[in-house]
Structure 1
Amino acid sequence: MKQKRLYHNTSLCDGCGLCQLVCALEHCGQWNHYQSRIKIINDMEREAFYAVCCTQCEEAPCILTCLMNTIYKQPGSDITVRDLYHCIGCRACELACPFDAAVFDVIKEKVVNCDLCGGRPLCVEYCPKQALTYDYPGDQADKKRNQAALQRFGTSLLEVFKFSGKED
């Protein structure tokens, strides 16, 4: 079964940054968005905000490049976690991340990533616009299809394809 993933809807996000502050407070005890494991990027050219955080890659490059073998997939959840006690802070994993989602924690002097708050991401819980969701990949695809049908036909996808049958 597929694992849940963090999704960001750019059309709902206003870039308030509350998700970053909640994340930093939870993981570092500081109300400082620079310590957050999720980053909100302001793309001024496209006039949109984008969330950047660990995508929990199946074949994670950070795991492969870790010199101390301190990054692994949590059994049962496939969340990418780090053993910070044995990490030497070399930052090789940070360079290997294709999404720029590995974050150097200046307090711990170690590289960290989004751990989905152990399966209950606080950034999702506190997002005032519901721009962040935590769903299964299939559920998210269904939501996007239904949203597209609603915009195009004015009704959900199920209603578009509903067969009413013949009346006698």
Structure 2
Amino acid sequence: MGRKFISLILLMVISASSTVGADAEEIPAYWRKTMTNDPQTNFYLAESLKPLPNKDAETLKVLRLSLIAGNLCLGAAIDTKTGDAFLRRAGYNHIRGKVWDEATFLADDWFKYFNYRSLAHLCAGIDYIFGPEGKLVPNLVKPGNGEPKGSYDLQNPYLRLPPLRKPNG
């Protein structure tokens, strides 16, 4: 199970490193007002806490959120031991066939318009969703400094997220 989580992390790092802009600018000042660790002011954080209608889709959404937060946020790191335990509890290895297809469709739809602004707000709220008292999976992601690793590219704000690898085919 540990190798699966690590391979998912590597897949995210490899594909995401090319998506964050090269000739970029600072985070716009008006975003900073809402880049908080509080779902009352951080819309993107509040949206990430809303459960999906399907348990398996919710598992995939949380997995993808943790991979994004752990790999694209400055100073953040994923605790693979906690990640493996979460995947076992959630039954990740048993999501197959039509169930996988439906779950990925629902989870991917949540990330359809994921952009740099969403990432910046997610990075600001990592501690709330994945910190020691995290609302989704406590201690899954070490928060870091609350900002994205890459710079903001006004010309290309959307992030291309790779598909998740199916467990055991």
- Shorter-chain TM-score bucket reads under 0.3
Higher strand proportion, which one? 1
Structure of higher RCO (CA pairs closer than 8 Å, 6+ residues apart): 2
Q: Which is higher, the Rg of structure 1 or of structure 2? A: 1
